[in-house]
Structures are given as C-alpha cells and as structure tokens.
Amino acid sequence: MAIYKIVSVSANKCLNIYGSNITSLSNNQNVTLWSDSGSTEQKWSISSLGSGVYVRSQVNTNFGLNAYRSGTNWNCDVYPVSGNETDAAVTFEKSGSYYKIRLTNYSGRYLTAGGTGDGANVYWAAATGANNQLWNMVTVSTSASGLRCPLDSYNSISQGYSSSHLGIDYAAAQYTPIKAAQAGKVIYMQNWTGGTSNWASMGHCVYIQHSDGMTIYMHMNEYPSSYVYVGKTVSKGDTIGRVGTSGNSTGYHLHFGYKRGTSFTYNSVNAYNEGTWANPLNYMA
C-alpha cells in the first residue's frame, strides 16, 4: 500500500471528501476538489497504480472511491469497499507523467474534474482527451513505516487527529486486545495509580519506539506489565494491552498517538515531548 494525493491536472487541486475535519464517513459522501490542505480527507491508499484496484480513503480505509450510477455523468462518491464492488474498482492508465483513472467494469468512464475551483464536483464521464481527465498521483507516504490499526475491531473513531487532540480515539469494547502498530521496542510504560492530572491523564499506557517514530497507547484496562515490559522487543501485531478507560477518559477507548523521529529517551515519560506529532492515519495503509 502507498498513500497518495490525487491532484487534478486542469485544476491543480486535490481529490477531497466533502466536509471539513472529517473523522468518520457515511455512504455516498460526495467527493470534490479542494486546494491542498494536507488533510486526511485528501489522502488515499492504493495497493498499486494498476487495474482493478480500490482507492481507499485515509479517513476510513473501509471506504473507497465509488460511482453513483445515475444520469449522464456518474457522480464520484465514497462507499464501503469489501473487495468485490463493481462500482469501486478502478484502472489507472498512464498518460505521459499523469494518469487517467477509469472505472474497471465500465468502458469509457473516466474520473473527471467538473471545474477548477474549491468544491468543484468530480464525476465519471466518457473520454474527452481533455486535461480535466488527467490526474497527478503524488506519493504522500510509501508507508515504509507501515503502521497497522492497533485494534482489530472497534466501534468508531470517536475523535480524530487535530492540533488540540494529538492522536486517534478508537471507541471499542472493554478488553479489546491492543496490538503493536509496528515492530519496535517498549521504551516506557505507566502504571496508573489514579487521578487525571498531568501524566496521570494517560492512564495505563505504553510507548513503543520504532525505526522512524514512536507510538503511544493510552487508557488501557490494566497495568501494561501484564503484557509487556520496558525493553521488550515487540513484533507488529503483538498484543500489548487491552482497551480500558483509565486516566482522563469517559468511556472505553484507545487513544493512539504517533510521533515521527528516531531518538526518544528510554524509560522516560518525557519521551512524550520528543519527536514530531503526526496523524497516524497518514501512515496506515
């Protein structure tokens, strides 16, 4: 998987899910163009720029680009993709240094920019040869760091990443196993002893250092020492704890944080202040 921005050659704007600061998606949510904002709504994960592939939203990779088949031009929206959706499979056709994006199962239906302004609609239309059917595929992250979702199942993303909320909140059932998002080493654990001030707000928590970053898992159900220890090397997917509601938390959820960087202080809660915060969804494929 790699993550891309999909930029209209005619409009020089990014394929964007309609809305602002979206943290969840619904069926048939519209797709438009918008100036590059670096937001998650403009990031798409794709297994290869080949044929019969899905273009999945980084807001929720269960959703992909889709055709709403009605009228002359079929609207482009997002819809859940489980793996065999006729209306979601696309084929990338190289055109110079750009690509045409065609619906695999319908001949001559190309992704088309309907205008050049912010909010211009995007639809699937017959080939015209015009620039508004050409797209520049800009790699955002090759996800070499390749974070996986730390939960195999959850109810919803109850709060997304923002400058005032430096992580993703996954609402999930108590005791849901929490998995290491990437291989690494446990460099800090906190056994919560009550309260919600300062570091106690994280509750029972674990920090794991990776080759190019650190992941942080908060509000666990019990002492993480039931599962891991400081210094332990973990593989991607190893269980490191279970979902709880310890610390500053009002319901069962995992707060999952991600920092980019290569050096974090070993066995110190202050590693939290090192490196650079990033939206983990941008590094998940």
Distance CA 252, CA 249 (A): 8
Q: How many CB atoms lie within 10 A of CB 212?
A: 14
Residues numbered 172 to 211 that lie near Zn ion (CB under 5 A) are: none
* Gyration radius of the chain's alpha carbons: 21
219 binds Zn ion (CB under 5 A): no
Interface of this chain with Zn ion, residues 2 to 21, rule: CB under 5 A: none
- Under DSSP, is residue 219 helix (H, G, I), strand (E, B) or coil? strand
* Distances from the Cα of 24 to the Cα of 18, 62, 229, angstroms: 12, 11, 34
Shortest distance in whole angstroms from residue 269 CB to Zn ion:
17
Q: Looking at 118-126, 131-139, 168-176, 269-277, which segment touches Zn ion (CB under 5 A)?
A: 168-176
How far apart, in whole angstroms, are the C-alpha atoms of residue 270 and residue 91? Answer: 47
Q: Which residue is nearest to Zn ion (CB)?
A: 255
Complex with Zn ion: residue 210 or 255, whichever CB lies closer: 255
In whole angstroms, the minimum distance from the beta carbon of 283 to Zn ion comes to 17
> Is there a contact between 45 and 27 (Cβ–Cβ < 8 Å)?
no
Identify which range of 56-64, 169-177, 188-196, 200-208 contacts Zn ion by CB under 5 A.
Answer: 169-177
Question: Which string of DSSP letters, residue by residue, matches 139-177?
Answer: EEE--SS-BPPS-S--SEEEE--BTTB-SEEEE--TTPE
- Which segment (92-100, 112-120, 247-255, 263-271) binds Zn ion by CB under 5 A? 247-255
**Residue 271, helix vs strand vs coil:** helix
The CB-of-202 to Zn ion minimum distance in angstroms stands at 10
Among 100, 255, 256, 258, binds Zn ion (CB under 5 A): 255
Work out which of 169, 179, 227, 244 binds Zn ion, going by CB under 5 A: 169
Binding piece for Zn ion, criterion CB under 5 A, among 63-71, 123-131, 165-173, 183-191? 165-173
Which residues contribute to the site for Zn ion (CB under 5 A)?
A: 169, 255
